[in-house]
Amino acid sequence: MKSRLMVMGPTGAGKSTLLAALGGSQEVAKKTESVVFTDSSVDTPGEAFDMPRLYFILINSAVKSGLVLLVADATRPRFFPAGFTKVMKGPVIGVINKIDVAGEAGIDLSRRALKVAGVKEVFAVSGKGGQGLEALKARIEEILGRCCANERRSARID
């Protein structure tokens, strides 16, 4: 389904928490151990991003998505591979997460890292605190025609 919202990024960046917050879920996010497809989203394990030899998992999963969020952790800034998003078929938005607990330096470094990866549009948010989520939701709705809804997990790829 091409209207799925996919999240990818390093381990601990808050991808699952962000997806839950976008869908209005109050559930506590758990460690994602494999790619999880639902009717409207794709949640990816951070290890697939942390290990370059697993990038094919992200690229293949992105084909089934209408929008990819590349999530950076502002409390632990790191650089992404230059031009990484160019291999994605659809649009990619950069998301700097954890702005409620990060300093300005971490937010700035994360923004630069996302730009190096090829992201053109960046949103700064807190998946836990809610800051910046309304603007991100509005942009997702512009692209996909809706944001994430809470729904059952439909398939798990191990």
DSSP string, 8-77: E-STTS-HHHHHHHHTT--SPP----SEEEESSEEE--THHHHSGGGHHHHHHHHTT-SEEEEEEETTS-
Q: Is the dihedral of CA 40, 43, 44, 46 positive or negative?
A: positive
> Which pLDDT does position 27 carry in this prediction?
54
**Helix or strand (DSSP H, E) at 140:** helix 133-144
Note if the pTM is more than 0.85. yes
> Which pLDDT does position 91 carry in this prediction?
95
Cα separation, 47 vs 103, whole angstroms: 25
Cα separation, 79 vs 83, whole angstroms: 11
Give the tens place of pLDDT for each residue, 62-83.
998 999 999 999 999 999 999 9
Average the pLDDT over 6-23 and give the result: 93
Average the pLDDT over 10-19 and give the result: 93
**CA–CA–CA angle 11, 120, 108 (5° rounding):** 60
Single-letter amino acid, residue 45: P
Cα separation, 43 vs 3, whole angstroms: 14
Class of domain 5-152: alpha beta
Q: Are 146 and 3 in contact (CB under 8 A)?
A: yes
Checking if the pLDDT of 156 tops 50, the result is no
> Which pLDDT does position 104 carry in this prediction?
96
Give the tens place of pLDDT for each residue, 85-140.
999 988 999 999 999 999 999 999 999 999 999 999 999 999 999 999 999 999 99
